[in-house]
Structure 1
Amino acid sequence: MTPMKEDYIKIIFELGGTERKISNKEIALGLDVAAGSVTEMITKLVEEKLVIHEPYAGITLTQLGHQLAIELVRKHRLWETFLVDDLKYEVADVHSEAEVLEHQTSDKLADALYDFLGKPKFCPHGGVIPDENGDYPESSNIVLADIEDGQEIKITRIIDNHDLLTYLHNLGVSANTKVIVLRHEPFEGPIIVKRLADETEISISFKAAHNIFVQ
């Protein structure tokens, strides 16, 4: 399994590909890759029986793909939690470190790390952490871009992407931030929100708004 294939499995899981059908566009936005690259990789994953692709409907993980995603995501997010909580890394800086560590982590080490951290349910950017049985709490699959003007929402999780997390950190936006959606600028322009904590208006790009999940 190549790192790129693993990235696709993880992003489909993050986007909710166990409960709903994910579009090529959502994957392209999440990984910041061309639509043609997504089509090519999905074909390979279908051949390996890791995803199901229904033309004009979308993509979901198979049971095998789901099991692989749980293993990858669990180890990755446990290391992210350790790096932030215990080694005081910035949230935006842990992805690349966790990417390396997850591949060197046995199930036994993952279980020990899970216990050491107090069996966390969520990582620092709001992603779910499956337990030793592969169970995990439900998480929202509603993205900021789909929220209507005037609604008050809480950001619950952010796609695990270094550039995205750095961008949002610089804007003062993170998991658990509460905002009111003021307006959507036309022609795939930014979404303008007001942070409730200090009433600051923030402009969030169209692409970023599709990788921020809210409730």
Structure 2
Amino acid sequence: MKEDYLKIIFELGGSHKKVSNKEISLGLGIAAGSVTEMISKLADEGLVVHEPYAGISLTAKGQRYAAELVRKHRLWETFLVDKLHYNFADVHSEAEVLEHQTSDRLAEALDDFLQHPDHCPHGGVIPSANGKFPDVSHRLLAEAADGETVVLERFLDNHELLTYLEELHLRPQDEVRVIRHEPFEGPIVITKDGNEHKINVSYKAAHNIFIK
């Protein structure tokens, strides 16, 4: 469970900025109260810094740990999709098990075998063996303005989310136009590839999709 929090904070940009309890809660699909409790434990272990009313960020120690977990997880996701032809929405739980059994040596061999992929199937960056990774956008689809055209960069690594987006036929690198934000935490209405067909993306999902 601790690892899930570190990975989601990493994905939300906690290496570079402060993320909120609400963002973590939406990303993990759990109550905000549970987030507060775990963040306190992570802070006690020196893995995160929590500034009340400002947000949560990873310490250098937390970032190293998170980058290692994310690297192994995403290498396995890439292997499962590219080599074993898994559906990209179905690899999270398999990779979750495999990452904990993966030594640094095995991760290196897997990386070599896959010819050093930059991104996993849902668009997330794969950190290098020394924990380095390129900057990525941390702007959410929910933050896009009505009428704006954006590219879907990556999706949070969540089975329910990825299955939902698969059903909507949305993938990383799709170009979409934001039509409107429905009120009262309603869906974000978008169109894709210049098509007039409207797609409703739920409020929660729109907070788990990153755009550029």
Corresponding residue number in structure 2 for 1:122: 119
Corresponding residue number in structure 2 for 1:21: 18
Q: 2:46 aligns with which of 46, 49, 63?
A: 49
Once residues 174 and 126 of structure 2 are traced to their aligned partners in structure 1, the CA distance between those partners, rounded to angstroms, is 20
**Structure 1 residue 135: deviation in Å?**
1.4
Corresponding residue number in structure 2 for 1:93: 90
Cα deviation 1:175-203 (Å, max 9, x = unaligned): 11110000000011000000015442100
Once residues 55 and 198 of structure 2 are traced to their aligned partners in structure 1, the CA distance between those partners, rounded to angstroms, is 35
What is the correspondence of 1:98-177 to structure 2 with a 5 Å cutoff? 98-177=95-174
Q: 1:10 aligns with which of 7, 18, 35?
A: 7
TM-score when normalising by structure 2 = 0.99
What is the correspondence of 1:55-70 to structure 2 with a 5 Å cutoff? 55-70=52-67
Q: 2:186 aligns with which of 166, 186, 189?
A: 189
Once residues 195 and 67 of structure 2 are traced to their aligned partners in structure 1, the CA distance between those partners, rounded to angstroms, is 37
Secondary structure at 2:176's aligned position in 1?
strand
After TM superposition, which residue ranges in structure 1, 4 or more long, deviate above 4 angstroms? Answer: none
Q: How big is the alpha-carbon RMSD for the aligned residues of Structure 1 and Structure 2?
A: 0.7
Match of 1:21, as an amino acid? K
How many matched pairs?
212
Match of 1:15, as an amino acid? L
**Structure 1 residue 208: deviation in Å?**
0.3
Once residues 128 and 84 of structure 2 are traced to their aligned partners in structure 1, the CA distance between those partners, rounded to angstroms, is 22
TM-score when normalising by structure 1 = 0.97
Corresponding residue number in structure 1 for 2:75: 78
Once residues 132 and 65 of structure 1 are traced to their aligned partners in structure 2, the CA distance between those partners, rounded to angstroms, is 16
Give percent identity, aligned residues only: 64
Cα deviation 1:62-96 (Å, max 9, x = unaligned): 11100000110000000000000000000000000
Once residues 88 and 97 of structure 1 are traced to their aligned partners in structure 2, the CA distance between those partners, rounded to angstroms, is 13
Cα deviation 1:132-175 (Å, max 9, x = unaligned): 22211211100000000001000000000000000000001111
